[in-house]
Amino acid sequence: MTAELVRGQNHPLSEVRLTIRISAGAPVLAGATLGDENGTVHGPPWVAHPGTPVLPGVEVPRQAAAEHRLTVDLGTLPETVHRVAVFLALPTGSAGPLRFGAVAAPHTAVDGPDGSELVSYTLTGLDTETAVIALELYRRQGAWKVRAMGQGYAAGLPALLADQGLPAAADLAAAVQHSAALAPAPTAAHGTAAPARPHTPAPAPSYDAQNPYDTQAPDAAPRAPGTPVDYTHPRRPHGTEPTPSPATEEQPAQPVAGDAVGWSMEERLYNQVWGMFEDLARTTAAYRSAVEFADSRLEKELDQALADPRGRLGTAGDTAREAAHARRTQLVDQARAALDRDLAQLAAESDVVEPALPPAYARWDNPVWHAYRVPAEPPMALRLGDLHLPESVPLRVPLLVRLPLERGLWLDSGPVAADGLPDAAELRQLAMEAAVALAARLLAVHPPGDFAVQAIDPAGAGAAALGVLTRTGALTTPPAAGAAGVAEVLERLTRRVDLVQMALRGGTPESLPADVDTARQLLIVNDFPHGFDDRAVTRLRYLADEGPAVGVHLLLVADREDAAAYGPLLDPLWRSLMRLTPVPDDHLADPWVGHAWTYEPALVPTGSQIVQQVLTEVTRARAKHR
């Protein structure tokens, strides 16, 4: 049974030998890009197009046509390839249409080796775009899936290729268009392209990380139309069939913690979490798109029923309206079933991933903290909290950011206009507790002496929350108070940034004065901008801009409305920081679809002493290190 996909929806592939059929309302170019685990395409040798139609595992047509057939053998793709993106582009310099919105919606279908249709997708909703990624085949937990993309680019093929990380994308796009223009005209009837000549796979080239396709397959003798494509792997004995993908719709792959690419378990878990994040974003987009389509179809059918005067009254009109609502319900139920299937798989994966996370990625209630030991190496990322969507409330995805922090953090302590939420005083207290929990996590995941925390608390309002840092000795100096204390801390850190910058630029990092602490610094500022004059604000902005590159990071606890008196002076500072909240809030967007995600802070469970235990261990290890 064919799966009809909507934009963003994915579907498991039970076959590895595939034919992708494309039907458009006008001649288009068809090609494919090969990406690594992050989706990055490292150069022209990773792109199959009319000028280079054959790569290991992929063959695309040589000219523009209204109908195309691409062949893909997932079993013969190099191990470095994790994504295959099929793209379409309108030819330039021709009398054809100037945008996809002027032609019929392109239709794509994925067929198995026996010709049976596995998946289909119609690219609706295109307008000014002149290039579009139609489908993406991607590897997930050792199995392959196909995703309906429909991601268009009004700026054309150069923008599409640049978005995939290709250097000199404009030059490659021009070469693709030029190759298609030089290709022989289509000879098949009805304006369709003649079947492309397959190539015998070349001997296995020597792949490297940057340029895995440094050789090109030589031409072989043309085959007669209808002859099956030879998918034989050049390194596999003839007659041996590739192993089918283990995941099918009926039997999904069993999730395994760390089942992603990476040099270490930590990196594999990081990549796996981001894969879950992307899958949840896209499957939810597919569901929302399907519901939107069902609603628009219902509205159209109801309008048609009302347009006929005979159908406005009586049983005929009621029957038509009931049928329209029933079709809408059926479409939504089908979409929800697909979403529930994907959510169940992601929930099962989360159940095995969460217990396996290292301290830097784990929640505070994870048992890994009870066996905590100060690490010998800093982590590659840090958990800032959790994310979820309305359609998947029980399922939380960790929000991981790479270390060292490239941006400062701002914990918003402003008022929340909603019933049942904390008042202003409670919100400020929660914001400080969240800030302290983040500071404790940063201290805990770095080696002894590699990270230090300082605090500015002008009026002493955060003393209760900062107490765990002072009691355990994690704060080596008391929180700075008053205007004089604020000025002293900012002056010391500004001097540190200046001296480290000069030493690095001069190539003499060992020449730093003895009183300069080379450990990375986190400065917690409570109740900003209280206690800050114009000079202090200027220094803080300087630290926000220049500090991260030399190991000075900011964590502001502030209500932006309190800073309104400074006018636009602080706007650049706010824009440079990543906003977090002490209570759930839907202000973060993902980089794939742009959903508004609900962020929940990584707070310590009520009554838990785990932070004090961890910080005590950190202080003990730091004393031994000295």
Residue-level pLDDT at 310: 63
Q: Of 51-55, 173-177, 193-197, 316-320, which range is least confident?
A: 193-197
Q: Is the predicted pLDDT of residue 390 greater than 90, yes or no? A: yes
Which has more confidence, 626 or 78? 78
- Per DSSP, 235 falls in state T
Q: Are 3 and 23 in contact (CB under 8 A)?
A: no
Strand, helix or coil at 614? helix
pLDDT class for 266, splitting at 50, 70, 90? very high
User: What average pLDDT does range 154-161 have in this prediction?
Assistant: 91
- Beta strand spans in 337-426 (E): 381-388, 397-402, 408-412
Q: What is the C-alpha to C-alpha distance for residues 382 and 438, in angstroms, rounded to an integer?
A: 9
User: What average pLDDT does range 529-545 have in this prediction?
Assistant: 91
Q: Is the predicted pLDDT of residue 429 greater than 80, yes or no? A: yes
Residue-level pLDDT at 544: 94
Residue-level pLDDT at 230: 39
CB within 8 Å of 157: residues ≥ 6 apart: 29, 87, 89, 130, 131, 173, 176, 177
pLDDT class for 270, splitting at 50, 70, 90? very high
Beta strands 47-48 and 117-122 are: unpaired
Residue-level pLDDT at 180: 81
The percent helix, strand, coil of the chain (3-state, each to 5) is: 40, 20, 40
Residue-level pLDDT at 205: 28
Q: Are 72 and 18 in contact (CB under 8 A)?
A: yes
Buried b or exposed e, range 50-89, using 16+ CB within 10 angstroms: bbbbbbbbbbbbbbbbbbbbbbbbbbbbbebbbbbbbbbb
Q: What is the C-alpha to C-alpha distance for residues 34 and 32, in angstroms, rounded to an integer?
A: 7
Q: Is the predicted pLDDT of residue 396 greater than 90, yes or no? A: yes
CB within 8 Å of 145: residues ≥ 6 apart: 10, 11, 12, 13, 137, 138, 247
pLDDT class for 318, splitting at 50, 70, 90? confident
Both structure tokens of 600: 């929940």
Residue-level pLDDT at 202: 31
Q: Residue type at 195?
A: P
pLDDT class for 356, splitting at 50, 70, 90? very high
Residue-level pLDDT at 420: 61
- Beta strand spans in 389-461 (E): 397-402, 408-412, 451-456
Q: What is the C-alpha to C-alpha distance for residues 7 and 150, in angstroms, rounded to an integer?
A: 6
User: What average pLDDT does range 407-420 have in this prediction?
Assistant: 78
Crossing angle between the packed helical segments 424-444 and 463-471, to the nearest 10 degrees: 20
User: For the domain 1-188, what is the CATH code?
Assistant: 2.60.60.30
Q: What is the pTM of this model?
A: 0.68
User: What average pLDDT does range 355-367 have in this prediction?
Assistant: 95
Residue-level pLDDT at 419: 55
pLDDT (tens digit, 9 = 90+) per residue, 7-64?
888 888 989 999 999 998 889 999 999 998 888 898 899 999 998 899 999 999 988 8
Q: What is the C-alpha to C-alpha distance for residues 565 and 351, in angstroms, rounded to an integer?
A: 48
Beta strands 117-122 and 3-5 are: parallel
Residue-level pLDDT at 1: 65
Q: Where are the domains of the chain?
A: 1-188, 267-356, 406-625
pLDDT (tens digit, 9 = 90+) per residue, 31-44?
999 998 888 898 89
Percent of the chain with pLDDT over 70: 86
User: What average pLDDT does range 127-151 have in this prediction?
Assistant: 90
CB within 8 Å of 475: residues ≥ 6 apart: 453, 454, 455, 466, 469
Residue-averaged pLDDT of the chain: 83
User: What average pLDDT does range 252-273 have in this prediction?
Assistant: 85
Which has more confidence, 111 or 238? 111
pLDDT (tens digit, 9 = 90+) per residue, 475-518?
989 999 999 999 999 999 999 999 999 988 888 877 888 888 88
Q: Which of 110, 112, 125 is nearest to 17 (CA)?
A: 112
Beta strands 596-601 and 585-589 are: antiparallel
The fold of 406-625 is Rossmann fold (3.40.50)
Q: What is the C-alpha to C-alpha distance for residues 459 and 526, in angstroms, rounded to an integer?
A: 9
pLDDT (tens digit, 9 = 90+) per residue, 186-205?
433 333 333 333 333 333 32
Domain 1-188 shares a fold with domain 406-625: no
Both structure tokens of 258: 């760390």
pLDDT class for 404, splitting at 50, 70, 90? very high
Q: Is the predicted pLDDT of residue 97 greater than 80, yes or no? A: no
User: What average pLDDT does range 357-378 have in this prediction?
Assistant: 94
pLDDT class for 321, splitting at 50, 70, 90? confident
Decide: residue 125, CB within 10 A, 0-12 exposed, 13-18 middle, 19+ buried: middle
Q: What is the C-alpha to C-alpha distance for residues 508 and 500, in angstroms, rounded to an integer?
A: 9
